[in-house]
Amino acid sequence: MAGNRSERVLVDEWRDMLALHARTLCELDRALHEHGLGASDFEVLDVLAEGAAEDGGAASRVQEIASRVHLSQSALSRLIARLEKDGLVCRGMCSEDRRGVRVTLTDKGRTVHAEVLPIQRSVLSRMLDGPQG
């Protein structure tokens, strides 16, 4: 019976985590919508901005982005295509691997990222700091 109790606690904690994730994603989508972005769009811009800051403006490989944003390769490709169409990123071939694709923020992408960063961080702070219910 003790095993069932700890298993129940584990499952409850897992479901609480999933619920918090879902609520936070909905809040992010709501807050970012007026800026023409969704939570996943912003996450890609944020990963690219962090990578550029760490690597002196270098482009990120799509595979590297995929490992950080938790989207399938095809979903990420569609998202990047949409961001490119909106002028927020540009794609190019990897010089070291012609099969690879690199993505960089455009000036517009950097501007949009800087504008919405405080909004995203505010939502995260509100949703993730303190008790949830």
Query: pLDDT of 106-121, one tens digit each?
Result: 999 999 999 999 999 9
Structure tokens at 59: 């482009």
Query: pLDDT of 36-95, one tens digit each?
Result: 999 999 999 999 999 888 767 678 888 889 989 989 888 999 999 999 999 999 998 766
Query: Is 17 inside a domain boundary?
Result: yes
Query: Is 115 inside a domain boundary?
Result: yes
Domain limits for position 10 = 2-128
As a whole number of angstroms, the distance between CA 33 and CA 117 comes to 13
Query: Is 124 inside a domain boundary?
Result: yes
- CATH number for the domain spanning 98: value is 1.10.10.10
Residue 81: HSE in the Cβ half-sphere, 13 Å Cα cutoff: 6
Contacts of 110 (CB under 8 A, 6+ apart): 49
Domains held by the chain: number = 1
